[in-house]
Amino acid sequence: MPARNVEKTIEMTYNDIPEEFRENIILVDNNSKDRTVEVAKSLGIKIFCHPTDRGYGGSQKSLYTEALKLDADIIVMLHPDYQYDASLLPELIKPIEQGRADCVIGSRVRTREETLKGGMPLYKYLANRLLTLIENIATGYSLSEFHSGFRAFSRKVLEKVPYQLNSNNYVFDTQMLFQIIALSFKIDEIHVPTRYFKEASSPNFIESTIYGISTLCVVIKYLLHKIGLKSSLFIPQYVEK
């Protein structure tokens, strides 16, 4: 769980996680200014604290590094803001357990009506659809969403993907997926309900705009990588498939 100021939602998220997975939860607190750490401690969650704000991507870097140290075979990234239904965690990891995928995305987009009824702002929905369309065309995939904060990875993915070189900002998620695709790992998805509400953390309009532009830059870098331009390698040379 990458966390920042989620004292109001972390317990709800924790309670939705099936009991058999609760002893292996890791939370990286990104310099929260509320009681996030105190609440997480009361729930018995393993906590690692950033003394300064290292960004959303920076939190994930710490999370994956700690998860690998604990010899995890499957690592799930879940936002602790109750935006995603954590009770679906067994379904999220099933394709990896069965060897059908190396990464699984919890997609919030099944139908337009359902997604908007779940509270996703119209501008976010439209941007999500446009960016996902562009990303599918660029990669040859047909994913319903590239931008979910509920994801599962096999250990071999995190051992191969050079995530430490990625951005510390929101575009970290996009970089991860395109690196996974560039390294020929398999991606699957399951549907999860859309839950937007006041306490759920989400980039504001300016942050979303920056994220959208940054995502398009990642797409361009991926395409340059695909045609073999050495000056624009998306995957560093030392990372072998």
Indicate whether 168 pLDDT > 80: yes
16 part of a folded domain: no
pLDDT above 50 for 165: yes
Report, as an integer, the average pLDDT of 124-136.
Answer: 95
pLDDT of residue 240: 41
Q: How confident is the model at residue 230 (pLDDT cuts 50, 70, 90)?
A: low
Residue 191 lies in a domain: yes
Query: Is pLDDT at 9 greater than 90 in this prediction?
Result: yes
Q: Is residue 25 part of a domain?
A: no
33 or 195, greater pLDDT: 33
**Is 21 domain-assigned?**
no
User: What mean pLDDT is predicted for residues 205-215?
Assistant: 89
Q: What is the pLDDT of residues 21-73, one digit of tens each?
A: 999 999 999 999 999 999 999 999 999 999 999 999 999 999 999 999 999 99
> Is 0.85 topped by the overall pTM?
yes
CA angle 153–207–141, rounded 5-degree value: 40
Residue span of the structural domain in which 205 resides: 71-232
CATH number of the domain at 112, please: 3.90.550.10
* Least confident segment among 89-93, 140-144, 236-240: 236-240
The pLDDT confidence band at residue 237, using thresholds 50, 70 and 90, is very low
The answer to the question of residue 22 being in a domain is: no
Which pLDDT score is estimated for 239?
44
- Would you say residue 169 lies in a domain? yes
- Mean pLDDT over each residue of the chain, to the nearest integer: 91
Rounded CA Rg of the chain:
17
Number of domains the chain contains: 1
* pLDDT given for residue 238 in this prediction: 40
Tokens describing residue 126: 């439209």
- In this predicted structure, the answer to whether residue 241 has a pLDDT above a threshold of 50 is no
Q: Establish if 37 belongs to a structural domain.
A: no
Is 76 a domain residue?
yes
